[in-house]
Structure 1
Amino acid sequence: MTAYQNDTSSDGVSYFLLNCLVRSPHWQLWLSLPLSLIFFLAMGANTILLITIRMEASLHEPMYYLLSLLSLLDIMLCVSVIPKILAIFWFDRKSISFFVCFLQMFIRNSFQALESYTFMVMAYDRYVAICHPLQYPSIINDQFVIKAAIFILTRNILLPTPIPILSARLHYCGENVIENCIYANMSVSRLSCDDDTVNRLYQFAGGWTVLDSDLILIFLSYSLILRAVLRLKAEGAVAKALSTCGSHFILILFSSTILLVFVLTHMVKKEVSPAVPVLLNVLHNVIPAALNPIVYGVRTQEIKREIYRLLKKG
């Protein structure tokens, strides 16, 4: 053990160390450059999307408000995770205080749940637009966005809040090295000297209840959309609808698949390299954030047109 690992306060551990792929230094060098590029792409693309929607009055509609919320969540998730990982790779800044560790844990769990529900609301928006176009203005309006936002904030702040609280209440009296690049609940709580059964049960029940319910409703929405577009007689309507909604669903499925593979590799960690689930956890926080503004924003004709218009003004 290093000197860091033996440094504990009278009440136990005073800070943690992120052991982010330090056993695979070649992975650090290989990953740092593409990770930084994807990070700056995600930040730039989401910022451009936010500015475009904010400056163009024609985009002040419910669907674009949801896109703004998604971009804001992507930015917050990236900022809460990636700069620290790059600081570890480049400057060996592995330590973090006890409080900041659990604060980041709360931010990640809350914002990932927020993003999942935002995807679900956006899927419902596309369902109403395609399956009930005449009723769309009366269903998807400013009041709908406000109610959805209130429900999103309430559900996805209250449910994840016990996760860092349950972890923080544990007594950390020995090792303080987290074998991860991110302050995940299970990676931290297993370092405690107490029984973490309650943590694991709540993480499993709460996390999968939220994400699974959202994913089921998303799948249901796109299934109904697929059934509706296959009945359309207008030339090119089916191809356009499938192109738009298909890319949305593939992106959501891609993000969920990364999370699922991460969980499975974590469960059978004796049979795979320890670096694999850690790497998947990192990618799950940055790749969707870089792809979301491209798939949901730039591929939308109205947003693409307004971006071009802003560039010409600039």
Structure 2
Amino acid sequence: MSCKNSSTHYQPAAFLLIGIPGLEEAQFWIAFPFFIMYVIAVVGNAIVLFIIKTEPSLHEPMYFFLAMLAITDLVLCTSTIPKMLSIFWLGSREIGFHACLTQMFFVHAFSSVESGVLMAMALDRYVAICYPLRHSSILSVPAIVTMGSLVLARGVLMMSPFSIIVHRLPFCQHCAISHSYCEHMAMVKLVCGDTTVSVIYGLFVAFMVVGFDVLIISVSYAMILQAVLRLPSTDARLKAFSTCACHLCIILAFYIPALFTFLNHRFGHSVPQHVHIIVANLYLVVPPMLNPIVYGVKTKQIRERIFHFFQKK
């Protein structure tokens, strides 16, 4: 397909999403595990939201943050995985220019929101363990709504310029994106003009959003570790560690592939392209799949409500 310019800015009418370069013949079979993970993510997060909404005893800060995380996961994976599966199974590779910009916005904005929610959950664990008697007063419902609104506003405001900047850039005649979805750097590689502003802004956002969130999470858990080690009872220490363990697993599952993808764009030129694309795809579906499983298994109240719901059925 050749790009057909649709404006004076040399914008293509549509892009072609390659999928996984180098593994085109295997994409049909690769799609099956992605489909299974997507179904688990959608069903699992929907169940978590339903349980939290219908059970008054779960209307507490920890579960409000968990509901935010579930909503974010549903938006993040649903904005990309269905189109990805249509590429792998149906060969439907074409995506309109503005549809591509919209998908790019949702991917980056809600990745930022998820990072912010994980940071808020780390602060919640810090307050719950270090200031248990003041937990409900510090993290009141208005405070939680404010935190959630700020995290969402940050994602929207800081990620919107990506779409605006890319919209104004001139593209070459070659408009095949070597990716399974419209990722910012994958699109920038097709630009014929100067991309300095886009690249610098991408680095700025990465350090301001991810760098800030990781710093707060690290400081929170360092102080949690100090507080837990001071507990006189071994049982109390084990209970506190168990409470934080599932959150740490979710944090690692989210940030490790994100960090790999970010560094690979800048420095990982020796990494095979199909490895980079597969990790980037897993980044969008594995955390949304793991979150309801980990919290459903580790959180007694949610586990009991799920068992009770299915027993009634």
Q: Where does residue 312 of structure 2 map in the other structure?
A: 313
Which stretches of structure 1, 4 residues or longer, exceed 6 Å deviation after superposition?
A: none
Q: Where does residue 100 of structure 2 map in the other structure?
A: 101
**In structure 2, how many angstroms separate the alpha carbons of the residues matched to 1:69 and 1:193?**
39
Q: Where does residue 280 of structure 1 map in the other structure?
A: 279
Q: Where does residue 125 of structure 2 map in the other structure?
A: 126
User: Does residue 169 of structure 1 match 2:168?
Assistant: yes
Letter in 2 for 1:59: L
Instruction: Determine what percentage of the aligned residue pairs are the same residue.
Output: 37
Aligned ranges 1:148-187 → 2 under 5 Å: 148-187=147-186
* TM-score, reference length from structure 2: 0.95
Native 8 Å contact 1:38 1:290 kept in 2: yes
Aligned ranges 1:28-39 → 2 under 5 Å: 28-39=27-38
Letter in 1 for 2:235: G
Letter in 2 for 1:160: M
Letter in 1 for 2:227: A
**In structure 1, how many angstroms separate the alpha carbons of the residues matched to 2:70 and 2:189?**
33
The number of residue pairs the alignment matches comes to 311
Q: Which runs of 5+ in 2 are unaligned?
A: none
User: Does residue 194 of structure 1 match 2:193?
Assistant: yes
Q: 1:123 to 1:117 in 2, by over 3 A?
A: same
Q: Which runs of 5+ in 1 are unaligned?
A: none
Cα deviation code 1:212-263 (max 9, x no counterpart): 1101101111111111111112341111211221231132123211112222
**In structure 2, how many angstroms separate the alpha carbons of the residues matched to 1:225 and 1:303?**
24
Deviation at 1:209, TM superposition (A): 1.4
* TM-score, reference length from structure 1: 0.94
SS of the residue 2:79 aligns to = helix
Q: Where does residue 42 of structure 1 map in the other structure?
A: 41
Q: Where does residue 2 of structure 2 map in the other structure?
A: 5
SS of the residue 1:17 aligns to = strand
Letter in 2 for 1:5: S
CA RMSD of aligned residues (A): 1.6
SS of the residue 2:271 aligns to = coil
Deviation at 1:10, TM superposition (A): 6.0
Native 8 Å contact 2:105 2:162 kept in 1: yes
Q: Where does residue 271 of structure 1 map in the other structure?
A: 270
Deviates more, 1:260-269 or 1:106-115: 260-269
Deviation at 1:296, TM superposition (A): 2.9
Native 8 Å contact 1:174 1:193 kept in 2: no
Q: Where does residue 82 of structure 2 map in the other structure?
A: 83
Deviation at 1:173, TM superposition (A): 4.1
